[in-house]
């Protein structure tokens, strides 16, 4: 399998649930990203991991918790979310140096609905 | 603060040429990129400018002027399949920040 794969594609959860989004890339990239896309704030950067170290947090609420166990996998753990957290969550990856550091490959996204 | 400004919507006719502008204000700058996103799909990379000037990739070209903090995406010979949202993006150190996107409508 190639590219960036996100699971699940759709998720509906209550405000008290705990769930996780998963992202996997088979491109040999060393940087991975979580973006939130909603009508109000398109493509809002949430987290960046470079060489498995978190380098950017962008003041995201603590109810979102990222995890990067290795350079190929990225998780977003969700806990006690709010309805306004409903959005499309996009994972992306890139190289860390050179021109490739400017080229993001996105997954298809996980559409989250919080009831 | 960091911001990228681009028009929210642009309309053009099939077969014509359209230019989508982007101005940016970031603390650091390592390149300007463009992405296309169709409804229901994920953003896909189109073009990148690290230095001033024009980059051409088929029907699409992208331009950068670092002194003006300005760039544009030029789409030629428009086709109906080019109807999509187009985002400019700037790499600022480890972050890649996106503009709010320009919705391109193409009329037959």
**Which helix (DSSP H) or strand (DSSP E) does residue A33 occupy?**
strand A31-37
Distance separating alpha carbons of residues A59 and B76, to the nearest angstrom: 40
The set of long-range contacts for B54-57, using a CB threshold of 8 Å and a minimum separation of 24, is none
Q: What is the pLDDT of residues A77-100, one digit of tens each?
A: 999 999 999 999 999 999 998 888
On whether the CB atoms of residues B5 and B70 are closer than 8 A, the answer is no
CB–CB contact A42 B100 (8 Å): yes
Q: B98–A103: do the CB atoms touch at under 8 Å?
A: no
Six-digit token string for A62 = 């603590």
Tokens matching residue A30: 């060393």
CA distances, B53 to each of B6, B13, B108 (Å)? 19, 27, 32
Q: Tell me what pLDDT residue A71 has.
A: 92
Does the structure show a pLDDT above 80 at B11?
yes
To test the contact with chain A by mutation, choose from B86, B96, B98, B103 the residue with the greatest count of A C-beta atoms within 10 A, namely B96
Q: Look at residue A1 in the predicted model and tell me its pLDDT.
A: 54
Q: Can you list the pairs that A96-103 forms with residues at least 24 positions away whose Cβ atoms lie under 8 Å?
A: A96/A29, A96/A30, A96/A31, A96/A50, A96/A51, A99/B31, A99/B48, A99/B50, A100/A29, A101/A31, A101/B30, A101/B91, A102/B30, A102/B31, A102/B33, A102/B48, A102/B50, A102/B91, A102/B96, A103/B33, A103/B45, A103/B48
Closest approach of B58 to chain A, Cα-based (Å)? 18
Q: What token pair was written down for A60?
A: 């995201």
Average pLDDT, chain A: 93
Query: What is the pLDDT averaged over residues B94-99?
Result: 92
Residue corresponding to tokens 């499309």:
A88
Instruction: Give A72's strand partners.
Output: none
Which whole number is the average pLDDT over B5-22? Answer: 97
Mean of the per-residue pLDDT values of chain B:
95
pLDDT interval class at B51 (50, 70, 90): very high
Q: How far out from the chain centre does Cα A114 lie?
A: 17
Shortest CA distance from B30: residue in chain A: A102
**For tokens 């390149």, what's the residue?**
B31
Interface test mutation site (partner B, options A10, A36, A42, max chain B beta carbons within 10 A): A42
Instruction: Spell out, as residue ranges, where chain A has pLDDT lower than 70.
Output: 1-2
Is A103 in the B-facing interface, judged by CB distances under 8 Å?
Answer: yes
Average pLDDT for B88-107: 94
The CA-atom distances, in angstroms, between A69 and each of A23, A31, A75, A112 are: 11, 12, 8, 23
């Amino acid at each position: 399998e190639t590219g960036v794969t996100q699971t699940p594609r759709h998720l509906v959860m209550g405000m008290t649930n705990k769930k996780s989004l998963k992202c996997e890339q088979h491109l040999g990239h060393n940087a991975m990203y979580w973006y939130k896309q909603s009508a109000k704030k398109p493509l809002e950067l949430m987290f960046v991991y470079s060489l498995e170290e978190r380098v950017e947090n962008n003041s995201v609420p603590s109810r979102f918790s990222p995890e990067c166990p290795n350079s190929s996998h990225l998780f977003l753990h969700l806990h006690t979310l709010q309805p306004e957290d409903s959005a499309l969550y996009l994972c992306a990856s890139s190289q860390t140096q050179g021109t490739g550091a400017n080229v993001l490959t996105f997954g298809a996204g996980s559409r989250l609905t919080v009831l | 603060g960091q911001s990228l400004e681009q028009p929210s919507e642009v309309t053009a006719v099939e077969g014509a040429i359209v230019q989508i502008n982007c101005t940016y204000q970031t603390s650091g700058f390592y390149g300007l990129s463009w992405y296309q996103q169709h409804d229901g799909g994920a953003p896909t990379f189109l073009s990148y400018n690290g230095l001033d000037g024009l980059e051409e990739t088929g029907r699409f070209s992208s331009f950068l002027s670092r002194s003006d903090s300005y760039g544009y995406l030029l789409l030629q010979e428009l086709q109906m399949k080019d109807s999509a949202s187009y985002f400019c993006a700037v790499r600022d150190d480890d972050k890649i920040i996106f503009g709010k996107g320009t919705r391109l409508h193409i009329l037959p």
